[in-house]
């Protein structure tokens, strides 16, 4: 009887809360935020008010201390309503996670408590203009001067960067050491020498703000360093091993939305004198979408459960969940457009946005090609 797929009463309540918020507040405004490329700050505030922002902040720092299963529950609902909006709280958890992994008790209180006291965000700055997949090749320099570090370099594609209180920055004290030269450090946004350039013209997820960050000789106290010098790369990897699971959850939400919209449209739309839902060509598409959705959801919950238990199997499981769910969701969105025909190709209906949004889920937090490398390494490591 150890295998149990049921949610607890608290988790069901969380799901109902997130679902109601997603349906009533987020979904009706998603198209507007997307078209105006506008940060939905009022939705972030509401998310904070109902207690669903920064949920992983531990109780000792004034938060709820919830795990990845809970993040997945919320992520599916918010992803269903607007993947672009969901990226904002999701990327904040990405900024919180390295502090949970490597921060001292004092650092957790100092950096994370403020995130529970008002609507506020964290961010994670790893990628750079010249490197993304090869994370160990980062070039942002960090030099120690007495009790301070001085940081110089440029970060790229950083979600929430400017809206956040701080970015967890990964920088190198010696690029020739590759991953062994990396330091993880919390850099508050109000420090002198920090500036931001917003990235415009994104294909989708246009509600989520994305930035280039320039650090120009920024001085940061040594007390802001997470872990030891040289541990930064490991901290980044351990973080992403966890935070890829919410990307999978958001993708499951997109896949469910694609199916919901398609099934409803298929019953309403008529061709050859009958609802198109009567044709097997359409039924097969709906069935394929359902098969992908259910398997992606099941595996995403499994990956979250493994991660919450601290089972090292979650490293490959999070990569499988992220790659699989984002591919299932992309195909579901693609088929949803096909079922809607010409109407699916214009923004009067929500399905073209699903495709534009979920494309990013195949790219960020490690491309799906990188996920396959992680999965293959775990297979081969077990045999070597
Ligand atoms: N979890 C924990 N530790 C890991 C790890 C993981 N998933 N992957 C690598 N490591 C550790 C290794 O064990 C190794 O440690 P030791 O020096 O103690 O042996 C160290 O990190 C270096 O590993 P490796 O040599 O395998 O690193 P690579 O340079 O080959 O890079 C990949 C590994 C490709 C997995 C890494 O660069 C990566 O994840 N890239 C994608 C980055 C990304 O997701 N960017 C998105 C940014 S957020 S939007």
Q: Which residues pair with 146 in a beta bridge?
A: none
- Asked if the structure places residue 1 within a domain, the reply is no
Q: Are 374 and 365 in contact (CB under 8 A)?
A: no
Alpha-carbon distance of 330 to 254, in angstroms, equals 8
Residue where a domain terminates, one of 70, 93, 117:
117
- Asked if the structure places residue 4 within a domain, the reply is no
Atom index in ligand 1 nearest the CA of residue 315 equals 7
Q: How confident is the model at residue 382 (pLDDT cuts 50, 70, 90)?
A: confident
Q: What is the pLDDT of residue 1?
A: 74
DSSP structure class, residue 7: P
Q: How confident is the model at residue 147 (pLDDT cuts 50, 70, 90)?
A: very high
b vs e for 206-215, b when ≥16 Cβ sit within 10 Å of the residue's Cβ? bbbbbbbbeb
Closest CA to 271 of 332, 340, 352, 337: 340
Q: Which residues pair with 159 in a beta bridge?
A: 210
Query: Which ranges of the chain does DSSP label H, i.e. alpha helix?
Result: 9-21, 30-36, 41-49, 68-81, 83-102, 105-107, 114-117, 232-268, 280-309, 314-340, 351-359, 368-383
238 lines ligand 1 (CB under 6 A): yes
Q: What pLDDT digit, counting tens, does each position of 181-239 carry?
A: 999 999 999 999 999 999 999 999 999 999 999 999 999 999 999 999 999 999 999 99
Mean pLDDT over all residues of the chain? 97
Structure tokens at 95: 């900024």
From 93, 169, 234, 315, the mutation candidate for ligand 1 (largest count of ligand atoms within 8 A of CB) is: 234
Between strands 270-271 and 225-226, the pairing is unpaired
Catalytic center residues = 365
Q: How confident is the model at residue 369 (pLDDT cuts 50, 70, 90)?
A: very high
For the chain, the domain total comes to 3
- Asked if the structure places residue 194 within a domain, the reply is yes
Alpha-carbon distance of 245 to 86, in angstroms, equals 13
Residue 99 pLDDT more than 80? yes
174 and 96 in a common domain: no
81 and 16 in a common domain: yes
Q: How many C-beta neighbours within 10 Å does residue 362 have?
A: 18
Average pLDDT over residues 140-168: 98
Q: What pLDDT digit, counting tens, does each position of 62-96 carry?
A: 999 999 999 999 999 999 999 999 999 999 999 99
Q: What is the pLDDT of residue 230?
A: 98
Residue where a domain terminates, one of 209, 230, 251:
230
From 95, 176, 179, the mutation candidate for ligand 1 (largest count of ligand atoms within 8 A of CB) is: 179
Domain that holds residue 248: 233-383
209 and 77 in a common domain: no
Q: Are 187 and 210 in contact (CB under 8 A)?
A: no
CATH of the domain at 97: 1.10.540.10
Q: How confident is the model at residue 364 (pLDDT cuts 50, 70, 90)?
A: very high
Q: What pLDDT digit, counting tens, does each position of 266-299 carry?
A: 999 999 999 999 999 999 999 999 999 999 999 9
Q: Are 247 and 322 in contact (CB under 8 A)?
A: yes
Angle at 280 between CA 278 and CA 285, to 5 degrees: 110
| Cα 234 to middle of ligand 1, angstroms | 7
| Cα 239 to middle of ligand 1, angstroms | 11
Residue where a domain terminates, one of 164, 199, 230:
230
Rg (CA), the chain: 21
Average pLDDT over residues 28-45: 95
Closest CA to 329 of 297, 302, 305, 307: 297
369 and 327 in a common domain: yes
pTM exceeding the 0.85 threshold for the entire prediction: yes
| Cα 27 to middle of ligand 1, angstroms | 36
140 and 204 in a common domain: yes
């Amino acid at each position: 009887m150890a295998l149990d797929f049921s949610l607890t009463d608290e988790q069901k309540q969380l799901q109902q809360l997130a679902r109601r918020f997603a349906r009533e507040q987020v979904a009706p405004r998603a198209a507007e935020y997307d078209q105006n490329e506008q940060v939905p700050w009022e939705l972030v505030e509401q998310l904070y008010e109902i207690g669903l922002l920064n949920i992983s902040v531990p109780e000792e720092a004034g938060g709820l201390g919830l795990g990845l299963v809970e993040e997945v529950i919320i992520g599916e609902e918010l992803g269903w309503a607007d993947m672009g909006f969901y990226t904002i709280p999701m990327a904040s958890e990405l900024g919180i996670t390295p502090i949970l992994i490597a921060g001292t008790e004092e650092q957790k209180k100092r950096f994370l408590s403020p995130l529970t006291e008002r609507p506020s965000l964290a961010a994670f700055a790893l990628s750079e203009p010249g490197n993304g997949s090869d994370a160990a090749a980062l070039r942002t320099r960090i030099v120690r001067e007495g009790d301070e570090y001085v940081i110089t370099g440029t970060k790229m594609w950083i979600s929430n960067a400017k809206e956040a209180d701080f970015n967890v920055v990964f920088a190198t004290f010696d690029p020739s050491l590759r991953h062994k030269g990396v330091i993880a450090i919390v850099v508050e946004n109000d420090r002198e020498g920090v500036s931001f350039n917003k990235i415009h013209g994104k294909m989708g997820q246009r509600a989520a703000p994305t930035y280039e960050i320039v650090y120009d000789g920024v001085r940061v106290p040594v007390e802001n360093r997470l872990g030891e010098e040289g541990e930064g790369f490991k901290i980044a990897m351990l973080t992403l091993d966890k935070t890829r699971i919410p990307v999978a959850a958001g993708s499951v939400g997109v896949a469910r939305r694609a199916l919901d919209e398609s099934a409803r449209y298929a019953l309403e739309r008529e061709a050859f004198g009958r609802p198109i839902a009567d044709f097997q060509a359409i039924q097969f598409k709906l069935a394929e979408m359902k098969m992908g959705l259910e398997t992606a959801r099941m595996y995403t919950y499994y990956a979250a459960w493994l991660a919450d238990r601290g089972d090292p199997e979650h490293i490959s499981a999070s990569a499988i969940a992220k790659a699989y769910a984002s591919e299932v969701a992309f195909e579901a969105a693609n088929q949803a457009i096909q079922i809607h025909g010409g109407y699916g190709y214009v923004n009067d209906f929500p399905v073209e946005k699903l495709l534009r949004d979920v494309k990013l889920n195949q790219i960020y937090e490690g491309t799906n090609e990188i996920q396959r490398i992680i999965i293959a390494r775990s297979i081969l490591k077990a045999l070597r």
